[in-house]
Structure 1
Amino acid sequence: MNNSSQQQAALRGYPRADGRKGIRNVVVVAYLVECAHHVSRRIVTQADHSEVHLIGFPGCYPNEYASEMMRAICTHPNVGAALLVSLGCESMDRDALLQTVRESGRLAELLVIQETGGTASTIAEGVQRVQQMRTQLDAQQPVPMAIEELVVGTICGGSDGTSGVTANPAVGRCFDALVADGAACMFEETGELIGCENIMADRAATPELGKLIQECVAKAERYYTTMGFGSFAPGNADGGLTTLEEKSMGAYSKSGSSPITGLIKPGDVPPTGGLYLLDVVPDGEPRFGFPNIADNAEIVEMIACGCHLTLFTTGRGSVVGSAISPVIKICANPDTYQRLSGDMDVNAGKILTGEATLDEVGQEIYQCVLDVATGGQSVSEALGHQEFILTYKSFEPIGPGCLPVRQL
């Protein structure tokens, strides 16, 4: 693939105090318990700005995972400011979260509904504060940004028999080009990589990392077996997939062929460019139900790892996007693209009809990444999609063998 140095030179980002840059400058309105969800949503609706996004955590009693995710997401490079909305009696440590956001150099405000006078007065106060934040952020100017500063994730959803032969390997080609340019790329869904653990171990940067990858997939298999479900859905079968192994190989092809640099967990930010596997299955005894209840939960976890944008492949079709980070949708099936073209950025089904090669579609996806990273809207952004899901999980910290690049 021939990459465009002129396009790379045009990248721009909003600088953050931690040295990262964001390709967006979003104000997040974050509810800290479900009881503050409605008020927060009304603030976002009345603010009526494409870069004011709603996020939040519904639980009254957060665990460390949920708290860490909120900290990571509110200080994501695409976020310039945060308005935290609390009911007032939940267990989320709102003052600590507020301090974290402010110490990151971002604008941050807190509203406590029980202290602000209830629904109407909190909405009015919230809209005013968001407008003040947007005025300050809109005055900021982006600065030059190198492609090696990009972090890009990938996920597949609504897979069918075409996914593993068109969209997924085309994303793999794009990933290879991005990694070669110095960007950080991550793939995940370890429950959908069962059977591919030895292949991934062979690609690991060190033997120790390879062993950890094998253990990571074995953990996912135990979790799924214990909970009594798997990653193979009825829609996958209706779309022509026949076995878990077939689905796994298709999902695996999104990773491309670059060496695997590291193994990370939700909230871990890649320290350098390279290819990373994101472990999304909770540690310890299975006790939280589905590892991710929907594709958007996985996107949120990649955002928590610093992803500026996400490549979403689908064969049967999907219409979701995300708050904070743009989602680029790549359609694997030419028939699905005909029906849902208004929700898709790239038609990888052209590979199946012989109108394009894998390399050509990979280059198209690569160019789409650069276009969105330079301010162009993805289709889901233009349609106003801002899905967000955050639930309970539990993870242990990664060990030194997971990031061998740090020791080189």
Structure 2
Amino acid sequence: MKGWLRSDGRKGIRNYVAVAYLVECAHHVAREIAAPYNAMTDGSGAHVIGFPGCYPNPYALKMMQRLATHPNVGAVLLVSLGCEGFNKRSVENLVRESGRPVKTLVIQETGGTRSTIAAGRAWVAEQAAALAAAPTVPMAVSDLVVGTICGGSDATSGLTANPAMGRAFDFLVAERAAAIFEETGELIGMENWMADRAVTPELGAEIKACVAKAAAYYETLGYPSFAPGNADGGLTTIEEKSLGAYAKSGASPISGIIKPGDIPPRGGLYLLDVVPDGEVRFGFPNISDNAEIAELIACGSHLILFSTGRGSVVGSALAPVIKVCANPRTYQRMADDMDVNAGRILTGEADLDTMGREIFDLIKQVADGAATKSEDLGHQEFILTYKSFTPIGPACLPAVA
């Protein structure tokens, strides 16, 4: 594999210009700036990310800082209206310190929509050309961070795609890569099993507390992580869904707990806690797959494994998404959107080890530049909203090699 070396020692598998709007009022301008450069499927070009809120939020700032300095990002254009509360200079300075080219355009100072689009396109064109000529370096599996998520689940998800991705995670961890699973709201009932796999008893206790927080959050909302589409697809209970979600984690020891924007310090298996801390204020957690994908990317994930039984079509900005289809009938209907047919386990054409190895091999191919189906189709979904988190404690990342 090959990648692009960054100043912090991480290596990117793509070399994008990130065009980031800092308030919804700047979204259209950012989208128009990136438009001529966002149809590229060779790992270059421009991707739009952004934060729609007008008043500041520490979570959103940390997310934008991590995303703007993600290893798949080679240059950053910040697009500001001018009167929003986002701390644009903090992001700009951090990106500059990382050695990446960065520019901030303030629409109110640049002359409005047309002038800002013209200035932005000129800068992106210059940076895209420079990034296309940037040298690459060798990259090993141990350099990778891979996230996993499931969406549009049905009764086949926990039988085929999820455990197959878990097996691929075991192969990654064995090669000293970092693997991140999440959705604590869909792991209710699995906390004792996860605690038994923790590398220290203290970490096990933190895992139980994480899941208890998620359960209390959903109880307050009165809205469990169980969608009508799950029931239509044959899932019967949240317990059944939790068993399937748990299968995505594989069987490796759990090395730590992280929160959005925390980067795993070393290889291993990590649980990402995406349920906000504190009182319920900012809406439903675990309700948007793309919001969680953004959080996985902010933790350094180079690419995402996405399990679906009903058939989700989403991709993501900044990081490739590998679709692992659980249901063989869904795969037949939606083959243009799916990268892997894990439903072959149900039809007897493959076993779990074979599928896990196939996904592991595809991860390496995508990391080396092969385009996923969502990349070919131009999917670049992105969502960032308000949340609130407290920092992780020392028990969450025990110093265990």
**TM-score, normalised via structure 1 length:** 0.96
Query: Is 1:30 aligned with 2:20?
Result: yes
Report the equivalent of 1:179: 173
C-alpha separation in 2, matches of 1:291 and 1:197: 18
Runs of 4+ in 1 over 6 A off after TM superposition: none
Equivalent position SS for 1:275: strand
Report the equivalent of 1:91: 85
C-alpha separation in 2, matches of 1:288 and 1:118: 32
What's the CA shift string for 1:170-209, capped at 9, x where partnerless?
A: 0011000000011000100000000000000000000000
State whether residues 261 and 405 of structure 1, in contact with CA within 8 Å, keep that contact through their aligned partners in structure 2: no
What's the CA shift string for 1:248-269, capped at 9, x where partnerless?
A: 0001001000000000000000
| Paired residues for 1:232-311 under 5 Å | 232-311=226-305
2:32 to 10, 25, 42: 42
Report the equivalent of 1:114: 108
2:61 to 46, 64, 67: 67
Equivalent position SS for 1:160: coil
C-alpha separation in 1, matches of 2:222 and 2:239: 18
1:333 to 307, 318, 327: 327
Equivalent position SS for 1:255: coil
Equivalent position SS for 1:313: strand
C-alpha separation in 1, matches of 2:110 and 2:9: 36
- C-alpha distance 354-49 of structure 1, shift in aligned 2 (>3 A): closer
- C-alpha distance 196-234 of structure 1, shift in aligned 2 (>3 A): same
- Aligned-partner residue type, residue 313 of structure 1: S
C-alpha separation in 2, matches of 1:22 and 1:186: 17
C-alpha separation in 1, matches of 2:38 and 2:169: 35
What's the CA shift string for 1:220-277, capped at 9, x where partnerless?
A: 0000000110101111011111111110000100100000000000000000000000
Report the equivalent of 2:159: 165
- Aligned-partner residue type, residue 126 of structure 2: Q
Report the equivalent of 2:350: 356
Report the equivalent of 2:306: 312
Report the equivalent of 2:75: 81
Residue 145 of structure 1: how far off its partner (Å):
1.0
Query: Gaps (5+ residues) in structure 1?
Result: 1-10
Aligned residues: 397
Q: Percent identity?
A: 69
Report the equivalent of 2:210: 216
Report the equivalent of 2:370: 376
1:201 to 192, 195, 204: 195
Query: Gaps (5+ residues) in structure 2?
Result: none
State whether residues 311 and 327 of structure 1, in contact with CA within 8 Å, keep that contact through their aligned partners in structure 2: yes
Residue 146 of structure 1: how far off its partner (Å):
1.4
State whether residues 183 and 286 of structure 2, in contact with CA within 8 Å, keep that contact through their aligned partners in structure 1: no
- C-alpha distance 266-218 of structure 1, shift in aligned 2 (>3 A): same
Residue 96 of structure 1: how far off its partner (Å):
1.5
- Aligned-partner residue type, residue 142 of structure 2: E
C-alpha separation in 1, matches of 2:189 and 2:392: 23
Residue 62 of structure 1: how far off its partner (Å):
2.2
Report the equivalent of 2:10: 20
Residue 49 of structure 1: how far off its partner (Å):
4.9
C-alpha separation in 2, matches of 1:40 and 1:319: 24
- Aligned-partner residue type, residue 70 of structure 1: M
Residue 40 of structure 1: how far off its partner (Å):
0.5
